Amino acid sequence: MNKSGVIRSSGVVSAFTMLSRALGLVRDILMAAAFGTSPAMSAFVLAFRIPNLFRRLFGEGALSASFVPVFSETLEKEGRPQAWALARRVMTMLGVVLLAVTAAGILLAAATLEWLPALRAALARRFPDAAVDVHALADQAQRMLPLFQILFPYMLFVCLVALCMGILNSFRHFALPAATPVILNAVWIVALLATSPLFGAGREARIRGVAWGVLAAGAIQLAAQFPALVRRGYRPGLSFAWRDPRVKRVLLLMGPAALGMGLSQVNIMIDSTLAFFIADWAPAALFYAERLIYFPLGIFATALGTVLLPVLSQQAARADPDAIKATLNHSLRHLLFVMVPASVGLLVMAGPIVRMIFEWQDFDAHSSTLTTVALCFYAPGLVAFSVNKVFVPAFYSLQDTRTPVRVGVRMVGLNLALNLLFVLTWPLELKHAGLAFATVLSSAVGALILGRLFQKRLGSPGWHAILRSLARIVLAALGMALVTAGAYALLCRATAGLTSQKTGQVLAVGGSIAAGAVAYVLAACLLRCEEARDIWRALHTRRSKPRNAASP
């Protein structure tokens, strides 16, 4: 796949990811209106983190990162029959393991619920003057564990979905895998609007309806993958021939990969757990801020990382280090071209964006303030999170899962140390923002280390060209920030007389973002940013391709 092909494939993934993120944004707006930063919402956030952690350990992170390079190599060198035999064996093994883990998790949650009253009483007697309210924590656990029992089986479905998506990506079929998250958000919205009220009028009853909707969405996502797999030669069936050396190689790669890619989720779990101890609103406030960060991150960075793994894996299978470095250079420059202005824009417009999107019904002004503070500290992390999504697949494509693990373990330690420092020293209503800032700092350090180690492994990916591009991008983004802030001030005054406050917010925020985007593109052109030209050429090639194909 050439450079324009990478951009075009990223564009396909980005388009579906944008649709998914748009539906996800609608979902989050409705969740905010229904539950705000209430204890019920915080309990749901923490319960949903746990299957997401296992999803990263066993599914789209670790298994995809270890399976896709081996599957691509088998497909390239041995053909489709051997590749599909490998896929059936790995899929069977994954299903058996996940069924066992799911059953164990549900039984453990049931036992914890049974013993919770006795544990609450024992802790209250043992620590009567504890700084942490034992009864409040027990109440929150009482809310969270039933939701966990509903949501944990979602892990089984989504991990198998991730494996199917990795297979389809290996065939250069990116559209369906990219469209699959749309199903989750669509079903989630239906559950929130239609099913959830049937469970009762209270928040805790209604959010159980949402949890059942999420579980149903996982089953539907898995069923949607099979027609595309069958068209490419897959035949359903079980295979227990796990002594296949290729299966063993997947497992050997998967162990470190599970740690490496799961470490980011470990950081998030640490953040959510510490937020659980800060206040009952803290996990929910962090969740809403994260959703706004993941919107631009998913549209481009995650899409690019999805395309890069199979592309880099095939280049590595051909033993072409120059192609790997060229692909990495090209990807980093175009990633920075998008994510730097996104980071700057979120930082400048954090408050107005949060108020426009979430401040409605149960999400009040105080919830907006809490979420805005967290978003301001998350915003610079867009660049660090994105760069990691390029470097980690580069190592995995070389079937080196150990290097990201070694770096990741150190970053978990750094993140935990910074978390404790900020929680102990920052004021109460900034402690959750300190958790966000710790994640950003540790991610940035990890990205720098991975870049240095990649250079030692294969040589420089062209740092001078990347830094020159970064300098131009930063200048253009700063100009964009000035235009955006000025436009917002003018539009706020212009819309002050409107009867609908929400309409005024939408016009002011939307108009200022549009003005900033135009200013950024013009500044990038004036500064002669090559990335703007490359993106335009890739899009123009995609539009003109059907006409060329029809030519004699």
What confidence score (pLDDT) does residue 112 get? 86
CA-closest candidate to residue 33, choices 277, 206, 184, 268 = 206
Residue 548 placed within a domain: no
Residue 550 placed within a domain: no
What sign for the dihedral angle of Cα 405, 406, 407, 411?
positive
Name the token pair of 156: 């089984």
What confidence score (pLDDT) does residue 551 get? 34
Residue 552 placed within a domain: no
Give me the domain span that covers residue 308.
3-461
What confidence score (pLDDT) does residue 120 get? 72
Are 189 and 179 contacting, i.e. CB atoms less than 8 angstroms apart? no
Integer Cα distance of 262 and 257 in angstroms: 8
**Do 401 and 523 fall within a single domain?**
no
**Do 389 and 524 fall within a single domain?**
no
Are 386 and 301 contacting, i.e. CB atoms less than 8 angstroms apart? yes
What confidence score (pLDDT) does residue 349 get? 94
Neighbours of 369 (CB within 10 A): 16
Long-range residue pairs from 250-254, CB within 8 A, at least 24 positions apart, any chain = 250/63, 250/66, 250/67, 250/70, 250/86, 250/90, 251/66, 253/65, 253/66, 253/69, 253/70, 253/396, 253/399, 253/401, 254/62, 254/63, 254/65, 254/66, 254/67, 254/401
What confidence score (pLDDT) does residue 376 get? 94
Residue 517 phi/psi, 5-degree rounding, is -65, -45
**Do 234 and 208 fall within a single domain?**
yes
**Do 181 and 295 fall within a single domain?**
yes
User: Distance between terminal CA atoms of the chain?
Assistant: 25
**Do 457 and 468 fall within a single domain?**
no
Residue 443 placed within a domain: yes
**Last residue of one domain, picked from the residues 436, 461, 486:** 461
**Do 96 and 170 fall within a single domain?**
yes
Integer Cα distance of 191 and 279 in angstroms: 28
Are 134 and 123 contacting, i.e. CB atoms less than 8 angstroms apart? yes
Residue 315 placed within a domain: yes
Residue 507 placed within a domain: yes
**Do 387 and 487 fall within a single domain?**
no
Radius of gyration of the chain from its Cα atoms, rounded to whole angstroms: 24
**Last residue of one domain, picked from the residues 439, 461, 483:** 461
**Do 419 and 473 fall within a single domain?**
no
Q: The whole model's pTM is what?
A: 0.75
**Do 340 and 312 fall within a single domain?**
yes
What confidence score (pLDDT) does residue 279 get? 82
**Do 406 and 536 fall within a single domain?**
no
Integer Cα distance of 408 and 261 in angstroms: 8
Integer Cα distance of 428 and 278 in angstroms: 8
Residue 396 placed within a domain: yes
Which of the residues in the chain have pLDDT under 70? 1-14, 55-65, 123-124, 126-136, 255-265, 298-310, 313, 499, 534-552
**Do 392 and 505 fall within a single domain?**
no
**Last residue of one domain, picked from the residues 402, 429, 461:** 461
What confidence score (pLDDT) does residue 509 get? 93
**Do 186 and 314 fall within a single domain?**
yes
Domain count, the chain: 2
Residue 551 placed within a domain: no
What confidence score (pLDDT) does residue 220 get? 93
